[in-house]
Amino acid sequence: MPDETSSGIEKLIQGVLAGERLQLARAITQVENESPAARPILQALYPHSGRAHIIGITGAPGTGKSTLVTELTRAYRQMGQNVAVVAVDPTSPFTGGALLGDRVRMRTLSGDAGVFVRSMATRGNLGGLSKTTRDVVTLLDAAGFERILVETVGVGQAEVEIASTAHTTVVVEAPGLGDEIQAIKAGVLEIADILVVNKADRPGADATIRALAMALGRSAPQPIRHHGQVVSVANAVDPLSTLPAWHISVMKTIASSGEGIEPLRQQLETHIKWLHDSGQYARREQDNATRQLTHILNAEIGRRIQHNVPATTFQALAQQIWQRKTDPYSAADILLESLFASGLSL
């Protein structure tokens, strides 16, 4: 049982700040479970975050993302940097997959105190995945990890958006996966800062690279970022900046043999430097802050509704809806009127 007294929470917070793995793992569990301790932990640790370079790595199943992430972690370790990996597990939206993924990685990177790996099962609320991932990243950031790799499968909407909220987004492709699996589409370029063709020793690698390069040639030089769901914020960066635009490069890797990993690491460093020099870093941080504020607002309002509406009221309305005695829009209006009349207090 987690200790949720204020001294227990304080111990977790201090433990995370001191980089203690056990306390960090416990704090993450509190956040994942949305326990009552989650909020004070996040409030206390948030001001200590903001130092990590957060890298989103996304790609279709079969592109070798996990191996790439493992090898990239090794490359960062050779430079003496601490690395945390958050794997939003691709294969099972429910149970099972996350634990297995952890075990496989742990075997490769185990015993290294400068590496922390956390797999997240995506079980749970629709829409909650993005908020939880961000919160876990905040904890890892506050714990002093300098590079945080967030790995997601580039197929689901939520998963792609999680990767695209990082400072730098890497889209991983691989040759020969077949049409349905290939994500070589103009659209994917919207989120990519760096494109990687992994498994580059496979037949068809050059065709894949050519197709990507052609698609890049047709696209705008600057990726369009997506905004939060309730409010979008105007561009806070001077649009007349004379700094050069970022050029999305296509890089070849063979993660299984480590080939191309060190150039990729260097390109990631180049991108973070460009983000700072161009003012884009501030813009992405502000976009992310907006999204985070929006998510928290939505979650908090949801909690207040649950607290204020008796389950029987909700159930009665749901019954009228499915029996087509009313429509869900009119039912929502009825609920909202009574909620706001009551002030929707805690």
Indicate whether 308 belongs to the interface with its own copies (CB under 8 A): no
Q: Is residue 298 close enough to count as binding its own copies by CB under 8 A?
A: yes
Kindly identify the residues of this chain, within the stretch 50-109, that bind its own copies according to CB under 8 A. Answer: 50, 60-62, 66, 90-97
Closer residue to its own copies in complex, CB, 63/73 = 63
Q: Which of 36, 127, 244, 279 binds its own copies (CB under 8 A)?
A: 127
Residues 186-225 as x/- pattern, contact with its own copies by CB under 8 A: xxx-xx----------------------------------
Residue 129 in contact with its own copies, rule: CB under 8 A: yes
Does residue 251 interact with its own copies by CB under 8 A?
no
- The answer to the question of residue 7 lying near its own copies (CB under 8 A) is no
CB of 79 to its own copies, least distance (A): 26
Q: How far is the CB of 77 from its own copies (least distance, A)?
A: 24
Helices (H) and strands (E) in the chain, counts: 12, 7
Q: Choose between 131 and 265: whose C-beta lies nearer to its own copies.
A: 131
Q: How far apart are CA 334 and CA 341, in angstroms?
A: 11
- The rounded distance, in Å, linking the Cα atoms of 54 and 148 is 5
Stretch that binds its own copies, among 18-26, 124-132, 256-264, 272-280 (CB under 8 A): 124-132
**CB 235 → its own copies: shortest distance, Å?**
11
Shortest separation between residue 250's beta carbon and its own copies, angstroms:
18
Query: Tokens 């180049």 label which residue?
Result: 270
Measured from the CB atom, the residue of 239 and 322 that comes closer to its own copies is: 322
Instruction: Specify whether the backbone of 245 is left (phi greater than 0), alpha (psi in -120 to 50) or beta.
Output: beta
Q: Give the count of beta carbons closer than 10 Å to the beta carbon of residue 291.
A: 23
**Near its own copies by CB under 8 A: residue from 22, 126, 240, 242:** 126
Write down the residue that tokens 């105007």 correspond to. 234
Report the residue number, 46 or 112, with the smaller CB distance to its own copies: 46
We find the least distance from the C-beta atom of residue 158 to its own copies, in angstroms, to be 5
User: Phi first, then psi: what are they for 40, rounded to 5°?
Assistant: -60, -35
Options 18, 207, 231, 245; binder of its own copies; rule CB under 8 A? 231
Closest CB to its own copies among residues 2, 156:
156
Structure-token pair, residue 302: 């949801």
Ordered DSSP codes for 242-292: -SPPPPPEEEE-BGGGTBTHHHHHHHHHHHHHHHHHHTHHHHHHHHHHHHH
Q: For its own copies, which is the closer residue by CB, 96 or 279?
A: 96
Structure token digits, residue 286: 């502000």
Distances (CA, A) of 93 to 7, 90, 98, 106: 35, 7, 9, 21
Q: Is 279 in the site for its own copies (CB under 8 A)?
A: no
- Give the orientation angle of helix 128-142 with respect to helix 280-308, to 10 degrees: 120
CB-CB neighbours of 221 under 10 Å: 10
Give the residue with the Cβ less far from its own copies, 262 or 281: 281
Task: DSSP letter for 226, please.
Answer: P
